[in-house]
Structure 1
């Protein structure tokens, strides 16, 4: 009986830890709203952008001002980010892209038993491998650090092309020329590739089913800067047939969720786009 009571207590603790605290969620939304604005905002504008009532917004703002996370501009009664945020964010300021993304990629590598990678989109239309994380167990795909591939090749290339087209920065003729220079293990027609790029733009991640590297399935999602230009790509690589269609979709959604959380923090909110809420919702 005592053991049963202790087990129930453990479950209660786990459930309690998993619950969200409304005031903290609202405070985070308010900070994102202020961070996403070019100028200091008033209470009403912050409340509207954050989706929080004006009275609650004002109370939370007073607390954030007291803690130094938000600064009040007395003359205009508007608010902007405070220096207190630098105090808590300082440990992250000098970290590399790999260090910032690794905590989000590690659980994906473990859950899907896939090698996860981080690629930098270089100005010379190449993608450079910055880092990789391998699953803890089982046979896995291996990549050598500093590997360079054409920026429009495989799932990585589809993700880059989707971001470029979405931002209006990739003319169709340019994409066709870049595509023609890629060596595929299993050839793919340009029209098929183009349709897959459009599908990637619609769902937020791209897939390559063994075309770039025979027998290897890759899934990728791009992180873009404020102008919409793709800067980094996170990807997962596994053996073809290793996952069902449902699990492959879950992998794609996991990568998309990671980019939705990381992109505003690393590159800022894209121009003309509202703050990203927790979990990738806008």
Structure 2
């Protein structure tokens, strides 16, 4: 496991990365003052970082307009990823979640016939796990994933009820409880199913949509009930939601709507 609390990070690298993301996301050249305002850093610090990034060929500088933009040098880092499948890009992140939280992570493809199909799974060594056959299929409204699906589509209560009624629950949560979970998932980006779809299993899920808001991939933690505390499962859910947001932005090209990771949100709150 990675103990991030005791890991020493380099603020200069974090600031440079933040600035690169701001410039890339803006879609237009920006001046140092504007970048400083958006990043929450001092103008002098931003200016030094911008000069260094320009020297390294990662950003451009327009001497007439005094603005900075993305440069071809960034492609040097992207070339190894060109031609990779989404699964190849996602696997390292999901494998890290499995190891860091001691869970089994399932990656599902959301199909056009209202099903989710298991495409991959990741397990930390020594984890007591549930065995799921490759290409297993479940109804899209089932379990924790189903709550996220209804939330992502912005379904009203009647439409969510129709989806809920298609599921064979081993211990039905009741639609009102399911609906409250859907509402909560709209804000948190994740949802839980504690023994309702399958007795004895705790499931936590998040999903990634493409640029047109169509749900494409779902990620779920599936563990035997009692293995993790409520707080532990909540942390898994937040981590899955963070990764889903990154997948949406990097793989499917959805624009960022704000800070997505825990670290980025904490930085924003402190500014």
- TM normalised by structure 2 equals 0.85
Cα distance, 1:275 vs structure 2: 5.3
Does 1:116 pair with 2:100? Answer: no
Correspondences of 1:22-37 after superposition (within 5 Å) = 22-37=11-26
How far did 1:99 drift? Answer: 2.3
Structure 1 equivalent of residue 180 of structure 2: 195
The structural deviation recorded for 1:208 is: 0.5
In 2: Cα distance, 1:172 partner to 1:240 partner = 29
The CA RMSD over aligned residues, in Å, is 2.6
Name which one, 1 or 2, has greater alpha-carbon Rg.
1
User: Counterpart in 1 of 2:73?
Assistant: 84
SS at match of 2:26: coil
1:69 to 47, 58, 78: 58
Name the structure 1 match of 2:263.
279
Distance 1:205 1:280 in 2: 18
Cα deviation, residue 192, structure 1: 1.6
Does structure 2 retain, via aligned residues, the 8 Å contact 1:210–1:240? yes
Give yes or no for contact 2:242–2:260 (8 Å, CA) kept in 1: no
Aligned to 2:149: 160
Distance in structure 2 (CA, Å) of the matches to 1:126 and 1:277: 28
Q: Name the structure 2 match of 1:7.
A: none
The alpha-carbon deviation at position 66 of structure 1 amounts to: 1.9
1:278 deviates by 6.7
1:65–1:71 contact (8 Å) kept in structure 2: yes
Match of 1:267, SS state, is coil
Structure 1: tracts of 5 or more residues without a match: 1-13
Cα distance, 1:123 vs. partner? 3.0
Aligned match of 1:256: 241
CA distance 1:230–1:32, shift in 2 (3 Å)? same
Determine the C-alpha separation between the residues in 1 that align with 2:236 and 2:67. 42
CA contact (8 A) 1:206 1:252 kept: yes
Q: How many residues align?
A: 263
